[in-house]
Structure 1
Amino acid sequence: MARRRADPVGRVRERDLGRHGPLTGSRADRGSAVVDFVLVGALVTVLFVGVVQLTLVLHVRNTLIDSASEGARYAAQSGHGPADGVARTRELVGQSLAGSYAQGVTAKATRIDGLDQIEVEVVAPLPLLGLLGPAGSLTVRGHALVETP
């Protein structure tokens, strides 16, 4: 094997390294870069899928809250009732997500702190594996003050 010789600036000439390159590790280290890549790649993939899943859950939750609130505001208008709020909420959820998310919509008139209000409640599946797979349950509510004529 050839000896390393440094030129005046301290660099090792390539022709002096021998046919196996610089001696930086043992032969037992061969292939470790592939294993490192697979392990790190798997970890990064799992983290990415987790972030995408969290984003999807938050999108569904925020959409349901907005739809329930809009349905409650619609039902609280003069000349409308809780049934109108249910229909409006189902329409909004169906347009934004899927029809299966609009199955558990209820509305009722309530009195909170002496004020008449409409409460719209949406019980929808919570997507745990994308929009498919097993799902939990998510309950959101929207409130609005009833307008008096």
Structure 2
Amino acid sequence: MLRLRHDRRSTGARGAAIVDFVLVLVVLVPLVLGILQVSLVLLVRNTLAAAAADGARYAATAGRGEADGAARTRDQIAGAISGRFAQDVSARTVLVDGAPTVVVTVRASVPALGLGGPGVDIQVAGHAVEEEQ
């Protein structure tokens, strides 16, 4: 006849796995959420910078103006991520070393994990030297 032996040492460690899991989870969840937030901010920042540069190049071509560059930037942003990031787009012409240069500036706020709450404010600019006619 087979006798099962009850070991007293195993009864004390029965809940240890749950406690270990919770302790690891308390550290791991904020770390993963932080990485996701940084990734979201970098994605939005890079997209806004690319759209601003494209809008500046578009506005700097012969026959185009600042309004055309700002509109192109808004369209690029709305097509790539979301139109809510294209609310504050401005374009102006400045002189850089005597050359007329179009500067397209985009300001946006990236909410926490894209859901809402306190956001990260981003400002990017794209520059392009105007073509001569």
Please say whether Structure 1 and Structure 2 have the same fold, judged by a TM-score greater than 0.5.
yes
Q: Deviations over 1:46-75 (max 9, x none)?
A: 211111111111000000000000000000
CA distance in 2, matches of 1:91, 1:145: 21
The structure with more helix, counted as a fraction of residues? 2
Q: Which residue does the alignment assign to 2:127?
A: 143
Task: Report the alpha carbon displacement of residue 42 of structure 1 after superposing the two structures with TM.
Answer: 2.7
Highest CA radius of gyration, 1 or 2? 1
Q: Is the 8 A contact 2:106 2:123 kept in 1?
A: yes
Q: Which residue does the alignment assign to 2:7?
A: 20
1:103 pairs with 87, 112, 115, which one?
Answer: 87
Report the aligned-residue RMSD. 2.1
Unpaired runs of 5+ residues, structure 1, are 1-14
Q: Which residue does the alignment assign to 1:77?
A: 61
* TM-score in terms of structure 2 length: 0.88
The structure whose RCO (Cα within 8 Å, separation 6+) is larger is 2
Q: Which residue does the alignment assign to 2:116?
A: 132
Q: Is the 8 A contact 2:52 2:104 kept in 1?
A: yes
Q: Which residue does the alignment assign to 2:16?
A: 32
Count of paired positions: 132
Task: Report the alpha carbon displacement of residue 128 of structure 1 after superposing the two structures with TM.
Answer: 2.3
The answer as to 2:50 corresponding to 1:63 is no
Q: Is the 8 A contact 2:41 2:120 kept in 1?
A: no
CA distance in 2, matches of 1:59, 1:122: 15
Partner amino acid, structure 2, of 1:48: V
* TM-score in terms of structure 1 length: 0.79
